[in-house]
């Protein structure tokens, strides 16, 4: 009667040692539209193709604090819970220590919060994946966050539907990211986004968002935070045009997402 | 042998008589700290052009009794800031352990360089003190925090048992606020003066102020700790002795030594 007896809750292991509820949550991330993140030595960029929603588009990039922001792929309502939590933690940290929250600390907190949901009966994993971008005293950071609670620091990454194509692009160019200027970073990000588009879709000013946060030269030579800025609509026009002109050799989608698009493999 | 856990660790009834449980009443009104018990006197600090000098003597008094003469009241934090404690010694020890925990977890997250500077630390401690006084259970201390701020500039600020904070080019807690602060203010009336002060001058001013405090504060000691914080770290000396004392001024003042009249 049941296809699978071991996917009723998030605390039961299958005999093969898998927890299906967590894997299903991972599938929810793959349903969300793609987001890309790239870190250089001075900046981190988040790039998103906003998901269509009847007459409008769903926002994909959210500012958490002056120095950090997230890009979401998956259930928007779960992302709202996590981003509210992150905003509160950042504010609280500013109040008690008088400094912006270090990014690894922040990511560690949501990782812990998400992991608890996978270990307590009656709870469910978050159905959302995040890219967390931010700067702290150690420079720019980009983190990936998964519903399992796993977090990992990345140089560049993409999550969401058909994100494998974007990841392939990023992998091919990974050596160049560290020394990228802000503009170059944006171009790489948008090219990676384009890789993941479906055949007849294009990047337009309506459906593309870019978020940037970084470090700039501050007083007496110390680096200071260049606050997160979200570029929406016509602010992205020039960037989008610049990447559609330079349709060069890099744009070949020669790789196929291994196993993606097919249903996940399940014990029978 | 009494096997009940309630009886463990208690004096044996057959030797000492029945234990008087009224001392360990669990019910009834709860009493928080009403006064400090073992106390440390003034801490003084002064800013100079590339850092902060801070000093406190090594005495812990039990009321008017000079009970412990080797208590170090200056505590470095992450080798980049210094804390001076006056007030209750047991609360100082509590804060000391708490800060050790904090510095460990900070060092674990960021092994290569300290992330909490003196300004961050001062903010944190003031919130901690305010949180405790809001529970009507204050940590009975007056702290000085010295080090560098976000911009690498010298930082000196105070936090007290109420969670109040203030900052100045020179600061002193307790009796020092009356006796040492005016002396230090003569040298550094404002930030500009502190920016011109050399390290040697700052140390001399602090030593002079410690001497005046020993002359006039009856709960003080001639052995003291002195720390200098710069961008290169904390230099802490914990066994300094007051030099060139002259008690000639006390000769005809009532209250110093034996009175003949």
CATH number at A74 reads 3.60.20.10
Q: Is A56 on the interface with B (CB under 8 A)?
A: no
Q: Computed from CA positions of residues B55, B60, B63, B64, in that sequence, does the dihedral angle turn out positive or negative?
A: negative
For B109, the closest of A97, A104, A220 (CB atoms) is: A104
pLDDT computed for residue B86 by the predictor: 98
| Nearest chain B residue to A223, by CA | B151
- Note whether B129 and B212 are within 8 A (CB): no
Report yes or no on B116 lying in a domain.
yes
HSE on the CB side for A261, CA within 13 Å? 9
Question: At residue A126, does pLDDT exceed 90?
Answer: yes
* pLDDT per residue as tens digits for the range A229-243: 999 989 999 999 999
Mutate to test the interface with A, among B50, B150, B167 (most CBs of A within 10 A): B150
DSSP H or E run through A140: strand A139-145
Identify all chain B residues contacting A99, using CB atoms and an 8 Å cutoff.
Answer: 115-116, 120, 150
- Note whether B48 and B197 are within 8 A (CB): yes
Long-range contacts of A87-92 (CB under 8 A, 24+ apart): A90/A64, A90/A65, A91/A65
- Note whether A116 and A124 are within 8 A (CB): no
Long-range contacts of A199-206 (CB under 8 A, 24+ apart): A202/A244, A203/A49, A203/A240, A203/A243, A203/A244, A204/A240, A205/A233, A205/A234, A205/A236, A205/A237, A205/A240, A206/A50, A206/A57, A206/A233
Q: What is the mean pLDDT of residues A137-166?
A: 96
Query: Of the residues B33, B69, B100, B230, which is catalytic?
Result: B33
Report yes or no on B2 lying in a domain.
no
For A220, the closest of B119, B124, B151 (CB atoms) is: B151
pLDDT computed for residue A266 by the predictor: 60
10 Å CB burial of residue A48 (0-12, 13-18, 19+) is buried
d(CA A7, CA A22): 9
Count of all residues that appear for chain B in the document? 261
| Nearest chain A residue to B119, by CA | A98
Q: Is A96 on the interface with B (CB under 8 A)?
A: yes
Q: Is A99 on the interface with B (CB under 8 A)?
A: yes
Identify all chain A residues contacting B102, using CB atoms and an 8 Å cutoff.
Answer: none
For A97, the closest of B109, B113, B116 (CB atoms) is: B116
Nearest one of A55, A9, A52, A12 to A32, comparing CA atoms: A52
DSSP string computed for B184-212: HHHH-SSHHHHHH--HHHHHHHHHHHHHH
Domain that includes residue A186, residue range: 30-49+57-246
In angstroms, the separation between the Cα of residue B146 and the nearest Cα of chain A is: 16
| Residue bearing tokens 């208690």 | B10
Question: At residue A177, does pLDDT exceed 60?
Answer: yes
d(CA B232, CA A52): 56
Question: CA dist B3 to A85, B6, B11, B19, B20, Å?
Answer: 49, 9, 14, 16, 19
In angstroms, the separation between the Cα of residue B117 and the nearest Cα of chain A is: 10
Q: Is B109 on the interface with A (CB under 8 A)?
A: yes
d(CA B167, CA B160): 12
Give the confidence band of A255 by pLDDT, cuts at 50, 70, 90. Answer: very low
Report yes or no on B5 lying in a domain.
no
d(CA A58, CA A71): 12
**Cα B119–chain centre separation:** 17
d(CA B75, CA B145): 10
Q: Characterize the bridge pairing of strands A52-53 and B43-48.
A: unpaired
In angstroms, the separation between the Cα of residue B153 and the nearest Cα of chain A is: 11
DSSP for residue A120 = S
Report yes or no on B133 lying in a domain.
yes
Q: Is B120 on the interface with A (CB under 8 A)?
A: yes
pLDDT computed for residue A265 by the predictor: 63
pLDDT computed for residue A153 by the predictor: 97
* pLDDT per residue as tens digits for the range A76-118: 999 999 999 999 999 999 999 999 999 999 999 999 999 999 9
Report yes or no on A228 lying in a domain.
yes
Q: Is B119 on the interface with A (CB under 8 A)?
A: yes
- Is the Cβ pair A138, B127 closer than 8 Å? no
Q: What is the mean pLDDT of residues A176-197?
A: 95
Catalytic residue check, B33: yes
Q: Is A54 on the interface with B (CB under 8 A)?
A: no
Report yes or no on B249 lying in a domain.
no
A139 contact partners, CB below 8 Å, separation of at least 6: A41, A42, A215, A223
In angstroms, the separation between the Cα of residue A93 and the nearest Cα of chain B is: 10
* pLDDT per residue as tens digits for the range B145-199: 999 999 999 999 999 999 999 999 999 999 999 999 999 999 999 999 999 999 9
pLDDT computed for residue B19 by the predictor: 74
CB atoms within 10 A of CB B180: 31
Report yes or no on B143 lying in a domain.
yes
Q: What is the CATH number of the domain that holds B84?
A: 3.60.20.10
Nearest one of A50, A53, A52 to A61, comparing CA atoms: A50
Written in H, E and C, the secondary structure of A183-242 is HHHHHHHHHHHHHCCCCCCCCCCCCEEEEEEEEEECHHHCEEEEEEEEECHHHHHHHHHH
Question: CA dist B166 to A116, A140, A239, B239, Å?
Answer: 42, 34, 49, 29
Question: At residue B104, does pLDDT exceed 90?
Answer: yes
Q: Is A220 on the interface with B (CB under 8 A)?
A: yes
What angle separates helix B118-134 from helix A76-97, to the nearest 10 degrees?
100
- Is the Cβ pair A219, B150 closer than 8 Å? no
Three-state DSSP at B135 gives coil
Nearest one of A67, A62, A23 to A264, comparing CA atoms: A23
Three-state DSSP at B118 gives helix
Provide the H-helix boundaries in chain B: 13-16, 89-109, 118-134, 176-179, 181-187, 191-196, 199-216
Q: Is B115 on the interface with A (CB under 8 A)?
A: yes
A vs B: CB pairs below 8 A:
29
Question: At residue A256, does pLDDT exceed 60?
Answer: no
Mutate to test the interface with B, among A97, A151, A218 (most CBs of B within 10 A): A97
Report yes or no on A1 lying in a domain.
no
Q: What domain count does chain A have?
A: 1
Report yes or no on B259 lying in a domain.
no
Q: What domain count does chain B have?
A: 1
Q: Is B111 on the interface with A (CB under 8 A)?
A: no
Report yes or no on A14 lying in a domain.
no
What angle separates helix B118-134 from helix B89-109, to the nearest 10 degrees?
130
Considering chain A, what percentage of its residues have pLDDT values greater than 90?
A: 79
Domain that includes residue B153, residue range: 38-241
**Cα dihedral B118→B121→B127→B132 (10° resolution):** -120
DSSP for residue A104 = H
d(CA B45, CA B81): 13
- Is the Cβ pair A99, B150 closer than 8 Å? yes
Q: Is A91 on the interface with B (CB under 8 A)?
A: no
d(CA B151, CA A220): 8
Give the confidence band of B111 by pLDDT, cuts at 50, 70, 90. Answer: confident
Identify all chain B residues contacting A97, using CB atoms and an 8 Å cutoff.
Answer: 116, 120, 123-124
Report yes or no on B222 lying in a domain.
yes
Report yes or no on A165 lying in a domain.
yes
- Is the Cβ pair B113, A137 closer than 8 Å? yes
Mutate to test the interface with B, among A98, A108, A139, A219 (most CBs of B within 10 A): A98
**ipTM metric:** 0.82
DSSP for residue B244 = S
For B120, the closest of A97, A105, A220 (CB atoms) is: A97
- Is the Cβ pair B124, A97 closer than 8 Å? yes
């Amino acid at each position: 009667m049941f296809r699978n007896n071991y996917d009723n809750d998030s605390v039961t292991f299958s005999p093969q040692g898998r927890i299906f509820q967590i894997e299903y949550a991972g599938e929810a991330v793959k349903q969300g539209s793609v987001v890309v993140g790239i870190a250089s030595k001075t900046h981190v960029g988040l790039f998103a193709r906003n998901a269509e929603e009847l007459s409008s588009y769903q926002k994909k990039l959210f500012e958490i604090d002056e120095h950090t922001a997230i890009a979401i792929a998956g259930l928007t309502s779960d992302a709202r819970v996590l981003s509210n939590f992150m905003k509160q933690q950042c504010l609280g940290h500013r109040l008690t220590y008088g400094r912006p929250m270090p990014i690894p600390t922040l990511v560690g907190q949501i990782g812990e919060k998400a992991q608890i949901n996978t270990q307590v009966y009656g709870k469910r994993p978050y159905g959302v994946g995040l890219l967390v971008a931010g700067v702290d005293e150690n420079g720019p950071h980009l983190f990936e966050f998964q519903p399992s609670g796993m977090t990992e620091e990345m140089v560049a990454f993409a999550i969401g539907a058909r994100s494998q194509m974007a990841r392939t692009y990023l992998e091919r160019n990974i050596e160049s990211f560290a020394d990228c200027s802000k503009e170059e970073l944006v171009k790489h990000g948008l090219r990676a986004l384009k890789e993941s588009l479906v055949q007849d879709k294009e990047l337009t000013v309506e459906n593309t968002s870019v978020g940037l946060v970084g470090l700039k030269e501050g007083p007496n030579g110390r680096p200071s935070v260049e606050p997160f800025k979200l570029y929406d609509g016509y602010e992205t026009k020039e960037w989008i045009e610049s990447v559609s002109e330079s349709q060069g050799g890099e744009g070949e989608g020669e790789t196929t997402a291994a196993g993606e698009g097919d249903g996940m493999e399940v014990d029978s | 042998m009494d096997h009940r856990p309630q009886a463990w660790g208690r004096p044996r009834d057959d030797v000492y008589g029945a234990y008087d449980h009224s001392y360990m009443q669990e019910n009834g009104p709860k009493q928080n700290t009403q006064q400090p018990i073992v106390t440390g006197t003034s801490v003084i600090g002064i800013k100079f052009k590339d850092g902060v000098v801070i000093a406190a003597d090594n005495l812990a008094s039990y009321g008017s009794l000079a009970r412990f003469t080797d208590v170090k009241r200056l505590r470095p934090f992450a080798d980049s800031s210094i804390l001076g404690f006056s007030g209750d010694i047991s609360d100082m020890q509590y804060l000391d352990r708490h800060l050790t925990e904090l510095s460990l977890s900070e060092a674990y997250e960021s092994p290569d360089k300290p992330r909490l500077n003196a300004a961050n630390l001062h903010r944190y401690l003031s919130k901690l003190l305010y949180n405790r006084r809001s529970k009507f259970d204050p940590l009975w201390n007056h702290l000085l925090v010295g080090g560098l701020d976000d911009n690498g500039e010298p930082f000196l600020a105070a936090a007290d048992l109420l969670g109040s904070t203030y900052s100045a080019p020179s600061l002193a807690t307790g009796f020092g606020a009356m006796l040492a602060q005016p002396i230090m203010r003569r040298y550094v009336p404002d930030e500009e003066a502190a920016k011109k002060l050399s390290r040697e001058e700052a140390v001399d001013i602090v030593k002079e102020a410690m001497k005046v405090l020993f002359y006039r504060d009856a709960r003080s000691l001639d052995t003291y700790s002195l720390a200098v914080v710069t961008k290169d770290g904390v230099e802490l000396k914990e066994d300094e002795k007051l030099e060139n004392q002259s008690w000639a001024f006390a000769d005809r003042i009532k209250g110093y030594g034996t009175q003949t009249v």
